[in-house]
């Protein structure tokens, strides 16, 4: 048996993945045809070519087009169900998913309450039928006003009894510093939500410092550019702030030139708290299984390290302590048994 077969069946947790950005091309085509939204491609083959990542502006174009096509609550439930089914196929037991309700509200007038109802139907179905769970990080899309950020914090707070566990910040970092949304994050944190902003991807260490100091981040989305600032590395190491690292996304967005150059091994060598994630899997032509395989085959991480990355994600999750403890015991038992079945030791 092979490391690939082991990675496929080993239990995993994912902390950095966008629900809308997980929409498959074939689903987008179906939604667009149903809602009569014009796409820059008329068939699936052309749409898949359009999905091939070009640059960040192109990425945002696709993301916005997905938002335009989510016209009804049934559309939202559909993409949530398909996402959760894909996670289950990869044996991702729990996912903490970034969701941007502002886009669906802006383009299609769907209330936050209705969006949450749709997603909760999908979550209940997945837990019942597939045995996987999900919680939500409601995020601010950078570029909205600070007042709109506060509105989104209020939305997130209202969803705390329906699976919302964190408040996030996504979108273009450059020109949109974390400090702009300090008040929104203060409001969310005071209500009991965790802070999980994106930082240190398209912008450098100053963005991560802002996320730590202004937004009191519990986790950092991406964070790979911390290596440009030794003082920041020391801060992150001392505090063991989890980094949600997305290698293939980093390559596509030209944060690094190729997977072979990815700093994942260096981040680990520096003693930083690292987790492995996909970001927007179909847009970057990846899966979490693919990310683990690349880590093993290209970045030469051993099985012990792969298992530790999985446990890191579980331990950094916003699940309650009892659930985390039980899941960790289950993961560890699975690792031992699956090694016997899939690896030659």
Digit-coded pLDDT (tens) for 235-260: 999 999 999 999 999 999 999 999 99
Q: Which residues contact 332 (CB under 8 A, 6 or more apart)?
A: 311
The CATH number covering residue 147 comes to 3.20.20.140
Averaged pLDDT of the chain: 95
Band (233; pLDDT cuts 50, 70, 90): very high
User: Does the structure show a pLDDT above 80 at 1?
Assistant: no
In terms of Cβ atoms closer than 10 Å to its own Cβ (0-12, 13-18, 19+), residue 172 is middle
Q: How confident is the model at residue 344 (pLDDT cuts 50, 70, 90)?
A: low
Over range 285-305, report the average pLDDT.
97
Q: What is the pLDDT of residues 61-96, one digit of tens each?
A: 888 889 889 999 999 999 999 999 999 999 999 999
Q: Span 315-329, mean pLDDT?
A: 97
The predicted-structure confidence for 101-141, as pLDDT tens digits, reads as follows 999 898 889 999 999 999 999 999 999 999 999 999 999 99
Query: Count of domains in the chain?
Result: 1
Rounded to an integer, what distance in angstroms lies between the CA atom of residue 87 and that of residue 18?
Answer: 12
The tens digit of pLDDT for each residue in 152-162 reads: 999 999 999 99
The pLDDT > 70 percentage for the chain reads 99
In this predicted structure, the answer to whether residue 210 has a pLDDT above a threshold of 70 is yes
Range(s) of the domain holding residue 131: 3-342
Clarify whether 201 is annotated catalytic: yes
Judge whether 39 and 65 are in contact, CB under 8 Å.
yes
The angle subtended at Cα 217 by Cα 279 and Cα 224, nearest 5°, is 45
List the catalytic residue out of 77, 96, 173, 201: 201
């Amino acid at each position: 048996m092979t490391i690939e077969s082991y990675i496929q069946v080993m239990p995993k947790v994912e902390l950095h993945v966008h629900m809308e950005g997980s929409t498959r091309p074939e689903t987008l085509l179906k939604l667009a045809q149903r809602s009569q939204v014009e796409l820059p491609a008329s068939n699936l083959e052309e749409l898949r070519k359009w999905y091939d990542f070009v640059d960040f502006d192109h990425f945002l174009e696709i993301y916005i087009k997905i938002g335009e096509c989510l016209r009804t609550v049934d559309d939202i439930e559909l993409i949530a169900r398909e996402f959760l089914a894909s996670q289950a196929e990869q044996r991702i037991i729990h996912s903490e998913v970034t969701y941007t309700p502002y886009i669906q509200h802006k383009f299609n007038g769907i209330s936050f309450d209705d969006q949450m109802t749709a997603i909760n139907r999908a979550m209940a179905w997945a837990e019942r039928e597939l045995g996987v769970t999900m919680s939500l990080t409601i995020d601010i899309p950078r570029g909205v006003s600070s007042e709109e950020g506060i509105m989104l914090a209020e939305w997130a707070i209202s969803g705390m009894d329906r699976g919302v566990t964190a408040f996030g910040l996504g979108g273009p970092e450059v020109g949109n510093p974390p400090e702009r949304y300090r008040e929104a994050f203060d409001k969310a944190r005071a209500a009991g939500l965790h802070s999980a902003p994106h930082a240190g991807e398209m912008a450098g260490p100053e963005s991560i410092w802002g996320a730590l100091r202004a937004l009191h981040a519990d986790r950092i989305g991406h964070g790979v550019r911390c290596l440009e600032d030794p003082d920041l590395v020391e801060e992150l190491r001392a505090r063991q702030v989890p980094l949600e690292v997305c290698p293939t996304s980093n390559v596509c967005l030209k944060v690094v030139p190729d997977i072979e150059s990815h700093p994942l091994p260096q981040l680990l060598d520096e003693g930083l708290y690292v987790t492995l994630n996909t970001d927007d899997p179909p847009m970057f032509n990846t899966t979490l299984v693919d990310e683990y395989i690349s880590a093993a085959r290209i970045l030469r991480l051993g099985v012990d390290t792969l298992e530790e990355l999985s446990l890191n994600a579980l331990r950094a999750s916003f699940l309650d302590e009892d659930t985390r403890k039980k899941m960790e015991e289950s993961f560890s038992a699975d690792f031992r048994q699956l090694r016997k079945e899939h690896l030659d030791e």
